[in-house]
Amino acid sequence: ETGVTQTPRHLVMGMTNKKSLKCEQHLGHNAMYWYKQSAKKPLELMFVYSLEERVENNSVPSRFSPECPNSSHLFLHLHTLQPEDSALYLCASSQEEGALGLEAFFGQGTRLTVV
């Protein structure tokens, strides 16, 4: 299997549930990202991990908790979400090496619905 794989592809959860989204990259990249894509807003960068350390957190509510146990895996832990958190959550990875302009590769996304 190659590329960036996200599971599950679809998730419906209640506001009191706890769930996790998983992302795995098979590209040997050293940076991974979580993005949120909703109908009303442009793609929003949520979290960035570079060399397994979080380097950016764009004022994301604490009900979203990322985890990067190694350079190939990224999780997004969800708890007590709100209906407005319903969106497509995209994982991406890239190789950050100085001035090299290597693009990010995206997974297929997890379509999350909060009821």
**Which chain residues interact with other proteins by CB under 8 A?**
31, 33, 35, 42-43, 45, 48, 50, 55-56, 90, 92, 94, 96, 99, 101-109
| Closer to other proteins by Cβ: residue 15 or 56 | 56
What tokens does 28 get? 């040997």
CB of 107 to other proteins, least distance (A): 6
CB of 45 to other proteins, least distance (A): 6
CB of 36 to other proteins, least distance (A): 11
Three-state SS for 51? coil
31 beta partners: 50, 94
| C-beta of residue 87 within 8 angstroms of C-beta of residue 46 | no
The CA angle 111-113-2, to the nearest 5 degrees, is: 20
